[in-house]
Structures are given as structure tokens and as C-alpha cells.
Structure 1
């Protein structure tokens, strides 16, 4: 455990940031799963838009890297467009 005051504060800040990062990850992961589940349905476009929005937010906050967000979105779009093409 930290002894100095600044170390205690740093620990508090790290815990707070960790919780915020986990919440952000949870939102983009659930949006991503919802978008994958809605592939082929009428609300697929809206779900993909929400997933894209959440990925961009996570990248902007620094929770995930910009390239990681782009890769995840690219893979999602590939699956969605593949399902549309099969119909």
C-alpha cells in the first residue's frame, strides 16, 4: 500500500480511471455484440451505427487504440455486408 500522500492520490485516481475504462469497454462491446446479432434484420444499420459511435468514443478516450477501433469496425462491416450480399 502507498505511504506518501501523492502515492495514495495516484492510487485513487488509477482506480477511478480503471472503473471508467471498464464501463467504456463494456458499452462498446455490448454495442458490437448487438450489431452482430442484428445482422440480416431491419435494425442492423442502426445497431452498426451505434457500435461505430461507441468504438469511436472508446478510441477518443484512449481506452483502445485508434487502429484497434478501425480494425474492429472493419471486421464488423465485413460481416454485415457479407450477410447483405448473401440475401
Structure 2
């Protein structure tokens, strides 16, 4: 646990905010989709991940962030959300 804490402290503040924002979005998506599936609706978790990837790309373009920069940013968040969405398609859950 101390290694993880040390790693967290070594990251720049901007990167820590991106990781926190990503984790919060995943938690909200899981919470909402859990209620949706429990009520008999379709699982839209991977569709929400795809929409979050698109939104992150739009925000990155608007903020003129550079892909592959020194810090984590909206481009990295879009990449991970895109991977989550593709994972859903590969597993047949999307």
C-alpha cells in the first residue's frame, strides 16, 4: 500500500485529477447501469464508456490539449474509455 501511496504522491497534480475524474466517472456509470440492469433494462455501461470517450475528445480539442503530453489529460481519458468500450464489443456485452 505504501508503494501505491508513494506513486500517487510522485504524480503531478494534473495527472492525479485525471485519474480521480476517470475513477469517479466509472463509479457513476457502474452505479447507474447497476440500477438499470436490476430493473430489467439493457446494460448500457459500454455505450456510456463510448460516449465518455467522444466527450473527452471534444473537450481535449476545445482545450487544445496535445496528445501524448507530459501529463495525463483528456486524450488519455478518451483512450481508456475507448478501450473499455471496445472490451465490451469484444466480449459481446456492448
TM-score with structure 2 setting the length:
0.45
Greater radius of gyration (CA): 1
Structure with the higher helix share, 1 or 2: 1
TM-score with structure 1 setting the length:
0.47
Greater relative contact order (CA < 8 Å, ≥ 6 in sequence): 2
